Amino acid sequence: MSLLEVRDLKTYFYIGNQVIKAVDGISFSVERNETLAIVGESGSGKSVTALSVMRLINPPGKVIEGDINYNNVNLQKLSEKQMCMVRGDRVSMIYQEPMMSLNPAISVGEQIREALLIHKTVPKSESKKRAIQLMNFVSIPEAQVRYNDLPAKFSGGMRQRIMIAIAIACNPDLLIADEPTTALDVTIQSEIMELLRSMKNKLNMSMLLITHDLGVVAENADRVIVMYCGKIMEEASVQDLFRKPMHPYTVGLMKCIPRIDSSVDKLYSIPGYIPHPSQFPEGCRFNDRCERATDKCREKMPELIEIHEGHKVRCWQHHD
């Protein structure tokens, strides 16, 4: 039984008289102790997927249909109060902008302690000690002293560590990381990803890693899902995805990134632009940018089909 199983998730946004199909029918699962990466560009629906799992979608957005099963419990059917018990305790999330995600008026130690107190992980008398332990665990120097400091006194990398401390405070089974390193410098990025990897191992945690950076995916994920315009285009183990990418979008994405270890004169580029979420093309959503598009691609949306073991793709070119 998977730790997290998502089936046919659809999250739509109703803005004015437009319907934005941010997530339009996706299914995936996260096993225990595994890192699943969801990779995509803007408009792909990757962040909305994460927010939908946590039930953090507010109007004008709504989860229209779909099951989100955590340990066989349907999260959609829980009351708000029950959901509050799941959030932060069993399933935690860290966000892209660590400065924005910490309350600027409360000391960092208190914010870590809050997670412990809400979920009654340790008795109140022990909570401060445990919070300091957590700060040490994520390598924040002089934790005892810095417990009372406000977030503004920390650098970006340190703040992300504090967020991680808050997220793992109650030993969750699943950590959702939404672009955790995008706002950080590259040297700090590698430290934070290293920290997340070690947390995952020490705490036997699974991770749902949301990112647009294929480098981060290559170095951290076990399995990968590629999303485009609200749908999953390809799903595979990280080795298979990089060794034998099948979907033209995945292939294009990998080819167009400049490499740090070699140089070319002209970069490959995927023609056209990502369509506006209210104006997806008919048929396969990638057809207007795909070099191999046929008439069938322009008429009918292909299904997500498993071609090799563990490797699924949504493309008519591979459906024979």
Partner 1 sequence: MNKIIEVKDLTKQFAVTSKLGAKTEFVKAVNGVSFDVLEGETLGLVGESGCGKSTTGRLILRLIKPTSGDIFLEGKNINQISDKELRKIRKDIQVVFQNPYSALDPKMTISDILSEPLSIHKVVHKYQYEKEVKRLLSLVGLSEKDMKKFPHEFSGGQRQRIGIARAIATKPKFIICDEPVSALDVSVQSQILNLLTELQNELKVSYLFIAHGLNVIRHMSNKVGVMYLGKIVEIGDVDEIYNNPIHPYTKTLLSSAPIPDPFNDRERQIIKGEVPSPINIPAGCAFHPRCQHAMEICKHKMPFLKGSGSQHKVACHLIDYNEKFRGE
Partner 2 sequence: MNPVILNILKRVFSTILIFFIFIYVTVFITVIPKDFTIKKVDDKWTVTYPIKNIVQIVNYNLKSLAQGEYKTTSNGKDAVLLIKNSLSKSIKLLTGGLLLAMIIGILKGIFDSRRGNSRDSSLKVLLTIIPISLPDILVVALLQSFAIWLIQHGIKIFKVAGSGTWQHELLPIIALSILPAAYIARVTAMSIESCYDKEYVKAAIGKGCSSRRILWNHVMRNAIGIIFESLSNITSMIIGNMMIVEYMFSYPGITQLLMNSYKSYDRNTTIVTIIVIGIIYFILDTLFQAIKHVTFKPLKEETA
Shortest Cβ 104–partner 2 spacing (Å): 6
Shortest Cβ 74–partner 1 spacing (Å): 34
d(CA 283, CA 295): 9
22 phi and psi angles, rounded to 5 deg: -65, -45
d(CA 72, CA 173): 13
10, 62, 87, 128: residue in contact with partner 2 (rule CB under 8 A): 87
25, 66, 156, 281: residue in contact with partner 1 (rule CB under 8 A): 156
CA quadruple 193, 196, 200, 205: dihedral sign: negative
Q: Are strands 18-30 and 4-15 parallel, antiparallel or unpaired?
A: antiparallel
**143: exposed, middle or buried (Cβ count in 10 Å: 0-12, 13-18, 19+):** buried
Which C-beta is closer to partner 2: that of 149 or that of 222? 149
Residue 58 is a binding residue for partner 2 (CB under 8 A): yes
| Number of residues that make up the chain | 320
Contact region with partner 1 (CB under 8 A), list: 50-58, 74-82, 247-255, 292-300? 247-255
Shortest Cβ 70–partner 1 spacing (Å): 28
Contact region with partner 1 (CB under 8 A), list: 72-80, 123-131, 156-164, 297-305? 156-164
Residue 53 is a binding residue for partner 2 (CB under 8 A): no
Q: At what angle do helices 108-118 and 124-137 cross, to 10 degrees?
A: 120
In angstroms, the first-to-last Cα distance of the chain is 31
For partner 2, what does the binding mask look like between residues 144 and 173, x meaning CB under 8 A? ------x-xx---------x--x-------
Residue 253 is a binding residue for partner 1 (CB under 8 A): yes
Which C-beta is closer to partner 1: that of 83 or that of 150? 150
319 phi and psi angles, rounded to 5 deg: -100, 25
Which C-beta is closer to partner 2: that of 37 or that of 86? 86
85, interface contact from partner 1, partner 2, none, CB < 5-8 Å by kind: partner 2
Letter string b/e over residues 107-135, b meaning 16 or more CB atoms within 10 A of that residue's CB: bbbbbbbbbbeebebbeeeebbebbbebb
The residues in 29-58 that bind partner 1, with binding defined as CB under 8 A, are 41-42
- For partner 1, the binding residues (CB under 8 A) are 41-42, 155-158, 185-190, 193, 212-219, 238-239, 242-243, 252-254, 256-261, 263-270, 273-274, 276
